[in-house]
Amino acid sequence: MSNQVVPTKGNLLNIKKSYELASLGQDLMERKKNILMREMMTLLDKVAKIRDEISDTYKKAYRLLQEANITLGIVDEIAKAVPVDNGLSVSYESIMGVDIPKIHHNKQEIKLSYGLSSTNSKFDQAFQAFQKVKELTILLAEIDNSAYRIANGIRKSQKRTNALKNIVMPDLEEQIKTITNVLEEREREEFSRMKVIKNRK
């Protein structure tokens, strides 16, 4: 018997309660894993769609930027006039104990920060295309990070389920069996002893 638990009825009851809790814990871990798996599959579908869309949008944006460079010359000085976007913040919500990020983007109204006389429609189209790339990148970052965290949650749940199923519960079963055998043996011995005493009387 592992941990050498003293074979008493009190300990047997306590171990049986521990076994029931471990069994419940295993069931809950299985449910948690299944819920996280469903969530993960939904996210992976979204990631695939966004990756395709972001790839197409990047191609379009760089093509337009290249056309702007061809018609205007290298536009890096004009591009520096575009302000840095600092309107991002992150909060978290819990799904089955896993913290999932929610990225909030405080969209600013698009204002042209460069002179129209030094640009053309190709540059404006490139600017708008990169705005869309930014939105898609924010969305992809949120979903990608969520998928990673959920995958980690699934791995931990599986690890705990395996520990309960393959280590904790078999150990408790062995303790229950051993204590039950010892107590039954004691009862038989006590019964035999009482029978002998009765016969002597």
Instruction: Tell if the pTM clears 0.75, that is, is over it.
Output: no
Residue 151: C-alpha distances to residues 27, 141, 154 (Å): 19, 15, 5
The C-alpha atoms of residue 72 and residue 151 are separated, in whole angstroms, by 47
pLDDT in tens, the chain (201 residues): 445 788 899 999 999 999 999 999 999 999 999 999 999 999 988 888 898 899 999 999 989 888 888 887 776 766 676 777 778 899 999 988 899 999 998 876 666 555 555 667 877 888 888 889 989 999 999 999 999 999 999 999 999 999 999 999 999 999 999 999 999 998 888 888 887 777 776
Helix (H) or strand (E) holding 90: strand 88-95
Give Cβ neighbours of residue 16 (< 8 Å, ≥ 6 apart): 176
CB contact at 8 A, 134 and 85: yes
> Helical H runs in the chain?
9-72, 76-79, 121-163, 169-200
Question: Which residues are within 8 A (CB) of 86 and not within 5 positions of it... i.e. 6 or more apart?
Answer: none
Nearest to 145 by CA among 43, 35, 41, 33: 43
Which residues pair with residue 143 across a beta bridge?
none
Fold classification of 23-183 (topology level) = Helix Hairpins (1.10.287)
**According to the model, what pLDDT value does residue 111 have?**
61
